[in-house]
Amino acid sequence: MALPAEPLALGVDVGTQGLKAVVYDMKSHAVLAKGSSAYGILPSPVPSRAEQDPATWLQALREAVGAALQGLDPARVAALAVSGQQHGLVVLDGEGQVLRPCKLWCDTESAAEAEQLSAKLGWKLVPSFTATKVLWLKRNEPDVYDRTATVLLPHDYVNLYLTGRKVMECGDASGTGLMDIPGRRWDAAAVAAVDERLGGLLPPLVDEPNRAIGTLQPSAAADLGLPAGALVGPGSGDNAMSALGAGAASAGAVVVSLGTSGTIFAKSPTPVLDPSGLVCPFADATGAFLPLLCTLNCTRLPEEVREAFGLSHAELTALAEREPPGCGGATWLPYLIGERTPCWPHASGALLGLRPGCLRPGLLYRAALEGATLSLLSGFRRMVAAGLAPGGRLRLVGGGARNPLWRQIVADAFGMEVVLPAEADSAALGAALQAAAIAEGVAVADYVAAHPPPMEDLVVRPNPEHRAAYDAALQRFEALGQQLFGV
């Protein structure tokens, strides 16, 4: 395919709270424009339920792409790729119509199914994984399951709209609980453990991260105002795409995301296998692997404090900076909506170690930041014990990375230098980088290494004087969690 004279790559991230689009100039290697469209989770009286209508994503795609390309010539778009929230269950009938709302990664209604599949398979599946949601659907909505002809993930559904093809790529598929990750194929035993019919509902896996899965079909091109025939990359899950957008292209590069969920992942040349299920042995978007750990409770914690006291995050941060590392022994177990890592779906948040005068906004805010951080640090140490060899720097992304105190807490607790990618929308940028690499016929990992996304000038260095306080805080955090919820 001949590239336009001034080619652009378009990256799209289908998130939980909205969709973002990034326009990347393939000549200057810079982000030219961005667009977004917000949406939310469908209201439900069931506390553990979290669902969205896939039609919402397509409408948001039209809005965000239109906003991003305003003032630009859409004919310049040579390629696009899609990042998507992982684990969501999209089910289609034989005509390709959506049968019910998508059950999202943060939907934990399938906790019982997760326990049963874990016992069957001999390794720990969490309720987030798609396999557990399929079994839940089979048991709780058998009429819908009987009509199901295709099972897709959120970004696969958007790819179907763009190209007309039903496929899954290995990075996102590795979060289903149905894949033999070292072998990069469907795991027949895991599929059969859910249902013998499921194998016929799963689309073929594509394991060619450096090639397009198709081209933009005329109907989608007309809908989006883009050129028909533009290349469409395979895309991947949001964490794999965020790794690209944060420049984590070399082995050992570590990324921490402070968002609705807390996530930590690192590139590895080989799978990092953890039978406990705390560390997910995912594949990445380059043909390598991306051991990953995800917590359900992150930025919600400081937001709870903000709502309770009616102060701004900036005001609360200023107060929290006056509080000591470790909060004088006050510990916030952050499990407001249960937890995925550890797999404690029925856990709740708990504030422990309180003394008279502790219920002041600055201390509670710092305890919230530390609780979310310690939850990730506990998992990170598990990743290292399972075989990850981390590099010396940590890339910090997500909304929480904007908070200067939280950045310092992460640096101090992990004992690593923290750097920030200049582009906050790292998953959408990662999708754009994949699209650009495919358009130019270059391996994605090589393209990112040759054109690394810029970092902010700021480098946050750990304060060695705080190390002992955070080591003690982590020990306290893990012991209290086990005492309360570690069945």
Note the pLDDT tens digit of each residue in 418-471: 999 999 899 999 999 999 999 999 999 999 999 999 999 999 999 999 999 999
> Does the structure show a pLDDT above 80 at 84?
yes
Residue with tokens 């399938």: 110
* 174-191 b/e (C-beta count within 10 Å ≥ 16 → b): bbbbbbebeebebbeebb
Q: Which residues are catalytic?
A: 238
**313: number of Cβ within 10 Å:** 20
Q: Which of 10-24, 84-98, 199-213, 250-264 comes out lowest in average pLDDT?
A: 250-264
Task: Determine the Cα–Cα distance for residues 317 and 269; give it in Å rounded to an integer.
Answer: 39
* 213-227 b/e (C-beta count within 10 Å ≥ 16 → b): bbbbbeebbebbebb
Query: What does the block give as tokens for 367?
Result: 């305890």
CB proximity list for 19: less than 8 A, separation 6 or greater: 12, 13, 36, 37, 39, 57, 60, 61, 63, 64
Task: Determine the Cα–Cα distance for residues 260 and 301; give it in Å rounded to an integer.
Answer: 10
Residues 11-25 have a mean pLDDT of: 96
Nearest Cα to Cα of residue 333 among 294, 293, 378, 291: 378
Average pLDDT, the chain: 95
* Per-residue model confidence (pLDDT) at position 280: 85
Please tell me the class of the 8-239 domain. alpha beta
Indicate the pLDDT class of residue 278, thresholds 50, 70 and 90: confident
* Per-residue model confidence (pLDDT) at position 306: 97
Which amino acid appears at position 368 of this protein? A
CA 75 from chain centre, in angstroms, equals: 31
Note the pLDDT tens digit of each residue in 227-265: 999 999 999 999 899 999 999 888 889 999 998 889 999
* Per-residue model confidence (pLDDT) at position 1: 63
CB distance 11 to 433 below 8 Å: yes
Residue with tokens 């799963």: 202
Task: Determine the Cα–Cα distance for residues 87 and 132; give it in Å rounded to an integer.
Answer: 10
* Per-residue model confidence (pLDDT) at position 452: 93
* CA-based torsion, 425, 311, 410, 475: positive or negative: negative
* Per-residue model confidence (pLDDT) at position 360: 97
Query: What does the block give as tokens for 177?
Result: 């609980």
**440: number of Cβ within 10 Å:** 14
Nearest Cα to Cα of residue 54 among 3, 4, 94, 14: 14
Nearest Cα to Cα of residue 444 among 238, 156, 211, 237: 211
Q: HEC profile for the chain?
A: CCCCCCCEEEEEEECCCEEEEEEEECCCCEEEEEEEEECCCCCCCCCCCCEECHHHHHHHHHHHHHHHCCCCCHHHEEEEEEEECCCCEEEECCCCCECCCEECCCCCCCHHHHHHHHHHHCCCCCCCCHHHHHHHHHHHCHHHHHHCCEEECHHHHHHHHHHCCCCEEHHHHCCCCCEECCCCEECHHHHHHHCHHHHHCCCCEECCCCCCCEECCHHHHHHHCCCCCCEECCCEEHHHHHHHHCCCCCCCCEEEEECCCEEEEECECCCCCCCCCCCEEEECCCCCEEEEEEECCCCHHHHHHHHHHCCCHHHHHHHHCCCCCCHHHCEEEECECEECCCCECCCCEEEECCCCCCCCHHHHHHHHHHHHHHHHHHHHHHHHHCCCCCCCEEEEECHHHHCHHHHHHHHHHHCCEEEEECCCCHHHHHHHHHHHHHHHCCCHHHHHHHCCCCEEEEEECCCHHHHHHHHHHHHHHHHHHHHHHCC
Domain ranges for the chain, please list them: 8-239
* Per-residue model confidence (pLDDT) at position 281: 84
* Per-residue model confidence (pLDDT) at position 74: 97
Task: Determine the Cα–Cα distance for residues 306 and 297; give it in Å rounded to an integer.
Answer: 16
CB distance 431 to 81 below 8 Å: yes
Task: Determine the Cα–Cα distance for residues 364 and 68; give it in Å rounded to an integer.
Answer: 39
Percent of the chain scoring above 70 in pLDDT: 100
* Per-residue model confidence (pLDDT) at position 99: 98
Note the pLDDT tens digit of each residue in 292-319: 988 989 999 999 999 999 999 999 999 9
What are residue 168's phi and psi, to 5 degrees? -125, 145
Task: Determine the Cα–Cα distance for residues 242 and 248; give it in Å rounded to an integer.
Answer: 9
> Does the structure show a pLDDT above 80 at 410?
yes
* Per-residue model confidence (pLDDT) at position 345: 82
* Per-residue model confidence (pLDDT) at position 124: 84
> Does the structure show a pLDDT above 80 at 210?
yes
Indicate the pLDDT class of residue 363, thresholds 50, 70 and 90: very high
Kind of pairing between the strands at 77-84 and 236-237: parallel
Task: Determine the Cα–Cα distance for residues 90 and 101; give it in Å rounded to an integer.
Answer: 7
Residues 128-152 have a mean pLDDT of: 97
Task: Determine the Cα–Cα distance for residues 171 and 181; give it in Å rounded to an integer.
Answer: 9
Residue with tokens 């042995």: 281
**259: number of Cβ within 10 Å:** 20
pTM of the model: 0.88
Q: Provide Rg for the chain, Cα atoms.
A: 22
